[in-house]
Amino acid sequence: MKIFALFLFLLSTATCTRMPDIQNSSTYLIPQPVEIQQSGGSFVLTMASTIGFDNQESRKIAEMLAQKLNVPTGFSIKAQQIRAGAIQFNLNKVFVAQIGKEGYALESTPKGVVITANEPAGLFYGMQTLLQLLPKEIESKTAIKTNWTIPGVKITDYPRFAWRGIMLDVSRNFFSKEDVKLYIEQISRFKYNTFHWHLTDDNGWRIEIKSLPKLTEVGAWRVPRSGHFGQRAEPKTGEAATVGGFYTQDDIKEIIQYAQDRNVTIVPEIDVPGHSMAAIAAYPELSCTKNQNTKVNPGTAFAIFDGKWKSLIDNTLNPSDEKVYEFLDKVFTEVASLFPNQYVHIGGDECFKTYWAADANCRALMKKLNITNVENLQGYFMSRVDKILKDKGKKILGWNEILEGGISPGATVMSWQGIEGGIKAAKMGHDVVMTPSTFAYLDYQQGDQTIEPYIYADYCKLRLKKCYGFDPVPDGVEAKYILGGQGNLWTEQIPTLRHAEYMTWPRAWALSEVFWSPKKTKNWPNFVQRVEKQFNRADFAEINHSLAIYDAIINIRSKDGKLKVEMETEMPGLDIFYTIDDTMPDSYSTKYTKPVDLPNGPITLRVISYRNGKPIGHLITLKQDDLKRRING
């Protein structure tokens, strides 16, 4: 009897566990829920199935699910106000503290699925989990015949952080209204709740300001250029500016409503006082130089580093000119009236003060303020902007440079230059969103630099595993000051939504789990298995994504004048084959098992990864000069 009891106990723990073995599970959820218990059987969705909702607040979620299910299944399921739908959405009559405002409970049995939450946001996230429980074919844009089964599970889930963001830069390259809506739809599926919209920069002003029409008549357009950003030719005299676009205020209202329906808050960014060349092209009098020939930057290098950054073209607003603050008051009046959330992001980053230092009025202002360092003028500028926003009922949010010169106690800081700015801000009592470039810049190279588009510098690399290893709460910082984290997608080298998807996924899957799931549940081998399932779902959804996780990682060391190559892969269980004899590698070539000493001479290293006897990674080719450039790199 003791043996039989032990058998029953082991059986029960195998089928009911907080963190199931993903290899034996039918659930491949990203982000991983707080608690998930496997149970027997499954629910089968049919054309006779019903979707129920308990009140008008839950109706929109139920109708959204019906629309999502009917396309791939070919069914005509309708949402109904009933209490016993095959899939049922209910709002709790008594607030359940454990799950908070965005959490949910989901229970699936052979009889049906019930999703409960305190607020509609939780029902929305429960719906997203339900969709991931269905077969990958649910992502199809056309009807498919398959068994629409949902495994028996019991889930309790809620987020670790309140701020779970993705930023999209639409200044460097313009994305249409439909592109933006589709991107918001995609991030909402992985429980992101904040869309940071970078609307203005040197390369384009994208938001209609009716009181300042030149901002979009002039500032939204630049001359056509091809080639790498930062290496393009300057605009020619008389050349037509035909590339760009902007969002009307009606467009913005439509996008805001679309986002709100998906529990996504939009945070607009108007980047000042630097990164303002598009605004200055429209209104040159806003700058210190008042250069009437200022053009929207098409990707031209306009600054050099000589110990510190120096600007070659004036792209900053003049902090000593009252007309600048009148201009900003008009801009923020219209921005504040459009966006209902509490924050307006005011940038504050990379403000090159070359022209401030040379300007007589700026020097006079510094003397009046008893400022000896031109850097501190930014603090004065930000205090003026802060007052403008406060008067409109908004809260200031900016990159970590807004700490320079002092900021108001209520300001919120986004730490992008590592985590140090965030640590400093938190210790000063400011709320912080952690978004360090080292873990969260989705425009950085995610695979080998011979394959991925080059961006900024050789060190700008960010692999999936490093994203997954991010923790927004540094040691020694009170967690209450860390609102959460955010991934940022700057678009200098991203001209299309298709490429934006490629750069976003799968790294934003990793960040979604960082921001949502409990820290203690992190498990890299478990996560990559779930990533592979998401690859299949993304294929059905026609969403682009990188497969760099399968590629070999090649590191070169030098000792006593000889090169040594070390190789690995992020994805466990892959084999690496290589050649140095000018032949193409395959599974019959030399298999990498330990660091290899490379012979002297003009060799070419070719590397490819395999799984189960079939090639799975990109072919990587490195000539001798490439190898030397990678020494200890």
- pLDDT per position as a tens digit, 154-209: 999 999 999 999 999 999 999 999 999 999 999 999 999 999 999 999 999 999 99
Give the integer Cα–Cα distance in Å for 209 and 215. Answer: 7
The H or E element spanning position 485 is: strand 482-489
Pull the structure tokens for residue 279: 């605004």
Catalytic: which of 107, 139, 269, 275?
Answer: 275
Closest CA to 108 of 153, 149, 72, 144: 153
CA distances (Å), origin 327, targets 202, 248, 490: 17, 19, 26
Place of tokens 């989990």: 129
208 is catalytic: no
The answer on pLDDT for 89 being more than 70 is: yes
pLDDT band at 453 (very low <50, low <70, confident <90, very high): confident
- Domains of the chain, start order: 18-157 (3.30.379.10), 163-275+312-351+364-517 (3.20.20.80), 551-629 (2.60.40)
Closest Cα to residue 345, out of 334, 337, 336?
Answer: 336
Q: Is the pLDDT of residue 48 over 70?
A: yes
Angle 486-491-496 (CA atoms, 0-180°, nearest 5)? 115
Cα–Cα distance, 130 to 190 (Å, whole number): 12
Report how far apart, in Å, the C-alpha atoms of 174 and of each of 52, 208, 500 are: 40, 14, 12
Tell me the pLDDT band of 88, cut-offs 50, 70 and 90: very high
For residue 518, say if its preceding peptide bond is cis, omega within 30 degrees of 0.
Answer: no
Report the pLDDT value the prediction gives residue 633, as an integer from 0 to 100.
59
Tokens 């790199």, located at residue: 633
| Tokens of residue 295, six digits | 């053009």
Helix (H, G, I), strand (E, B) or coil at 435: coil
In whole numbers, what is the pLDDT of the chain averaged over residues? Answer: 93
Question: Using an 8 Å Cβ cutoff, are 602 and 609 in contact?
Answer: no
Q: How far out from the chain centre does Cα 128 lie?
A: 18
Could you tell me the pTM of the whole model?
Answer: 0.94
Query: Residue written as tokens 């390259």?
Result: 173
**Which residue in 35, 239, 350, 539 is the catalytic one?**
350
Q: Is 275 considered catalytic here?
A: yes
Both tokens of 58, joined, read 């839950």
Q: How many CB atoms lie within 10 A of CB 374?
A: 17
What's the rounded mean pLDDT across residues 509-526? 97
Strand partners, 42: 151
Strands of the sheet containing 87-91, edge to edge, are 35-44, 149-157, 104-109, 112-117, 87-91, 51-53, 79-80
Mean pLDDT along residues 253-263: 98
Largest CA distance in the chain: 93
Among the residue ranges 362-376, 397-411, 520-534, the one predicted with the least confidence is 397-411
Confidence of residue 577 (pLDDT cuts 50, 70, 90): very high
| The pLDDT value given to residue 170 | 98
CB contact set of 458 (below 8 Å; sequence gap of 6+): 449, 633
* Helix 249-260 × helix 322-338 angle, to 10°: 50
Q: Return d(Cα 69, Cα 48) in angstroms, integer.
A: 13
Which tokens is 416 given?
């992008």
For CA atoms 571, 573, 575, 576, the dihedral sign is positive
Look-up of token digits 């004048």: 561
Question: Phi, psi (5° rounding) for residue 579?
Answer: -135, 155
pLDDT value of residue 361: 98
The SS3 call for residue 179 is: helix
pLDDT value of position 25: 46
Phi, psi of 175 (to 5 degrees): -115, 135
Contact 513, 471 (CB under 8 A): no
Q: How far is CA 462 from the centre of its chain?
A: 13
Asked if omega into 135 is within 30° of 0 (cis), the reply is no
Instruction: Say if residues 386 and 395 touch (Cβ distance below 8 Å).
Output: no
Q: Encoding tokens for residue 218?
A: 């002039």
Residue 22 pLDDT: 39
Eight-state DSSP code of residue 570: S
Average pLDDT estimate for 518-531: 96
pLDDT tens sequence across 289-327? 999 999 999 999 988 877 777 888 999 999 999 999 999
pLDDT band at 23 (very low <50, low <70, confident <90, very high): very low
* Residue 7 scores a pLDDT above 70: no
Instruction: State the Cα–Cα distance between residues 80 and 321, nearest whole angstrom.
Output: 60
Q: How many CB atoms lie within 10 A of CB 390?
A: 13
What the block records as the tokens of 343 is: 């924050």
Alpha carbon distance 508, 365 (integer Å): 45
What's the pLDDT at 309? 76
Structure tokens at 83: 């209490």
Q: What is the band of 435 on the pLDDT scale with cuts at 50, 70, 90?
A: very high
CA-to-CA distance for 9 and 12, rounded, in angstroms? 5
Strand partners, 213: none
Beta bridge pairs of residue 106: 115, 155
Integer CA distances (angstroms), 300 to 235, 285, 303, 304, in order: 9, 22, 9, 12
How many angstroms separate the CA atoms of 512 and 515, rounded? 5
**Do the bridges between strand 562-569 and strand 200-201 make them parallel or antiparallel, or are there none, so unpaired?**
unpaired
350 is catalytic: yes
Match 């990203």 to its residue by tokens.
30
DSSP 367-381: HHTT--SGGGHHHHH
Q: Across-strand partners of 314? A: none
Closest CA to 331 of 404, 375, 254, 278: 278
Contact 181, 258 (CB under 8 A): yes
The catalytic residue among 139, 201, 401, 452 is 201
